[in-house]
Amino acid sequence: MNAVIFFIFAASTLVGAGGVVLARNPVHSALFLVQTLLSVAVLFLLQDAELLAAVQVIVYAGAIVVLFLFVIMLIGVDRREALTETLRFQRPIAVALGAIVLAEIIFLTGHTWATGAATQSGVPITGSTSSGDLGNNIQRVARVLFTDFLWPFELTALLLVVAVVGSVVLARGSGDRSERSIEEPSSTADSESAS
Amino acid sequence: MIRLFAADPLLTGDIDLTVLLIVIVKTLIIFVMLLVGVMLYIWAMRKVIADMQNRIGPQKAGPFGILQSLADGVKLFFKEQSEPAGSDHRVYLLAPYLSIIPAFLAFAIVPIGGTVSIAGHMTELQLADPAIGVLFLLAMSGIGLYGMMLAGWSSGSKYPLIGSVRASAQMLSYEAALGLAIVGVLVHSGTLSTRAIVNQQAWTGAGSIFTDWYWLPAIGAFVIFLIAALAETNHPPFDLVEAEQELTGGFNTEYTGIRFALFYLAEFMNVITMSAIAVTLFLGGPNGPGLGFVASDSWINTWFMPIFWFFLKLMVLLYATVWVRASLPRMRYDRLMDFSWKVLIESAFLWAMATGAIVVGRNEGWNLWILTPAVALGAFLIYFVLMACVPSDKELEEIR
């Protein structure tokens, strides 16, 4: 049962990923991206990572891709994308980096030194262990996030704030306050941080 | 994967045919209930608004015109479906379903009754009780947004496009406020499961209306939730997405027939679901006093009374939405965005933080007489500092 679901949604993930690259229309690309994100959410559910699945749907499908579409709609999709490269050697470098990432992922799936040994493999997420009840997936994630990984967590929040301030500064231009749209850039930037 | 929904005692043991049948019947009941509910809600809305405006309202179809929505539905179903020449065909067909399916799914987490026994199986009267609970509602309303956006875009027409750009900006903004308002309850409850939240608001006497139900401990979150839920469902006074005076109808201008009906169905279903979630989170869900003169384990007290209380509370909230629809004029678009980003989200944030401080203080045994004023003072200070940073309308005019 689980294997069947896995293969269906793994295939769906790959079809969506291919569609993102191959679709001619940017809106169709964004929709294929949503397909990929939702399929990955199902794969998360198969791994009992319910919170991750919910966050994936809410943040990525529900907010980020919506923002993509929002921008595409505002700018319009009629403009043809030029195929000439603005940065030289962009494509070879992209291929090389992609190959490195792929090799990295394949290497890491066989090793655990980067993530640490898998904890309590085979123990049901909702079950209690000898060290006491660890709670369900959500409670476990919360406990880890606010104890062991509190420092990186807060740093990430700071990073997002810096990104928001930076995008507001860029969108408003330096010193020139005569532009008409005052609220628009800041509101979209804020919603990125909220997500 | 079945483990995800195992909070329901129905699914803890072996899954046999009876269990499967119970789940299917529950699904069908919720499906039919939502459809009939929308029909009755539209009829009641038209009647109540007509009353408030000194009119009679629908009266020809059936007694008191109660079949009017059904007649409208049948008419729409048999209408010709047109499609603009410049449309994006596949996305145009997809959009109504992206609206309607999340609207159906979101209701699955609402507890509409107590825990009962059907054919020897104990089960909760709700379709699903996942551990992610209310997050499921946020996920579904996030997906439902696509229906509206893509409908406007794929029509290949100007007014619908403006409508859908408005829709995406508005719903994204108010979804943030809605989520933060829900946090105000979750800090109290310590769980996301709707069933667990409802169980914490159990009826122990008339006093539990004020002490156990979350509307009073989380009064700020309650107010913010109601406002944000109205905006999230594009309900007046926040229905700029389909402002007929400005946009000839908005995102659904180019839709006809059953596809048009699907959008309306989804919209009213979302109103019902949001009201039901408000009942669940803030008003005790199906909890209420049983009938004292009947045995406590008779079917009246286990089956009937919780369902009765749930629907009574739901109808009070739905009546309030109709009242708002009849009373308030539509907001201006820039005011709408300002209101979300400059008022609602900050307030919801501060309310969640203040609630967190007070809940921790209560658990740790701090002196609440000192803590509560200190937290309130701190929240007000932060709020005024934030507000001082926001340029006023006058300053914005000068910049322009």
| pLDDT tens readout for residues B52-89 | 999 988 888 888 888 888 888 888 888 888 888 888 88
Distance from CA of B172 to the nearest CA of A (A): 7
- A191 compared with A146, residue with greater pLDDT: A146
Structure tokens at A160: 């997002």
Average pLDDT of chain A to the nearest whole number: 78
Greatest distance between any 2 Cα atoms in chain B = 72
Domain hosting residue A158, numbered range? 149-195
Cis before residue B237, ω within 30 degrees of 0? yes
Output the pLDDT for position B229: 92
Band the pLDDT of A119: cuts 50, 70, 90: low
Which of residues 103 through 142 in chain B touch A, CB cutoff 8 A? 130-132, 135-136, 138-139, 141-142
In a domain, A192, yes or no: yes
The helix (run of H) or strand (run of E) holding residue A20 is helix A2-22
Asked whether the beta carbons of residue B131 and residue A27 sit closer than 8 angstroms, the reply is: no
In contact, B161 and B152? CB cutoff 8 Å: yes
Burial group, residue B45, by CB count within 10 angstroms (0-12, 13-18, 19+): buried
In contact, B167 and B98? CB cutoff 8 Å: no
The four Cα atoms A87, A92, A93, A95 give a dihedral, to 10 degrees, of 130
Output the pLDDT for position B287: 87
Evaluate if residue A10 carries a pLDDT over 80. Answer: yes
Picking from A27, A50, A178, the nearest residue to B132 by CB comes out as: A50
End-to-end CA distance of chain A: 34
pLDDT tens for B239-283 read 877 777 777 777 888 888 888 889 889 999 999 999 999 999 999
Residue B347 CA to residue B349 CA, distance in Å, equals 5
Whether complex ipTM tops 0.90:
no
Q: Which residues pair with B116 in a beta bridge?
A: B123
Output the pLDDT for position A136: 73
Q: Which residues pair with B123 in a beta bridge?
A: B116
Measured between beta carbons, the chain A residues lying within 8 angstroms of B131 are 50, 126, 136-138
Place of tokens 């000068």: B398
Q: Does B91 touch chain A (CB under 8 A)?
A: yes
Give the gyration radius of chain A's Cα atoms.
Answer: 21
Write out the E strands in A68-175. Answer: none
Asked whether the beta carbons of residue B145 and residue A62 sit closer than 8 angstroms, the reply is: yes
Alpha helices for B78-116 (secondary structure H): 89-106
Q: For chain B, which residues make up each domain, given as ranges? A: 78-331
∠ CA(A98), CA(A109), CA(A5), 5° rounding? 95
What residue type is assigned to position B177 of the chain?
Answer: A
Asked whether the beta carbons of residue A61 and residue B142 sit closer than 8 angstroms, the reply is: yes
Q: Which residues pair with B118 in a beta bridge?
A: B121
Place of tokens 């996920």: B139
In a domain, A52, yes or no: no
In a domain, A92, yes or no: no
* Number of domains observed in the structure of chain A: 1
Evaluate if residue B7 carries a pLDDT over 70. Answer: no
Among the residue ranges A32-46, B17-31, B257-271, B385-399, the one predicted with the least confidence is: B385-399
Burial group, residue B295, by CB count within 10 angstroms (0-12, 13-18, 19+): exposed
Band the pLDDT of A27: cuts 50, 70, 90: confident
The helix (run of H) or strand (run of E) holding residue A102 is helix A90-110
> What mean pLDDT is predicted for residues B90-95?
88
Measured between beta carbons, the chain B residues lying within 8 angstroms of A55 are 135
What residue type is assigned to position B128 of the chain?
Answer: A
Evaluate if residue A80 carries a pLDDT over 80. Answer: no
Average pLDDT of chain B to the nearest whole number: 85
Q: Does B143 touch chain A (CB under 8 A)?
A: yes
The four Cα atoms B186, B191, B195, B200 give a dihedral, to 10 degrees, of -70
| Mutate which: A66, A68, A172, vs B, most B CBs within 10 A | A66
Q: Does B145 touch chain A (CB under 8 A)?
A: yes
Asked whether the beta carbons of residue B341 and residue A190 sit closer than 8 angstroms, the reply is: yes
Output the pLDDT for position B317: 93
Asked whether the beta carbons of residue B169 and residue A187 sit closer than 8 angstroms, the reply is: yes
A125 to chain B: closest CA residue? B3
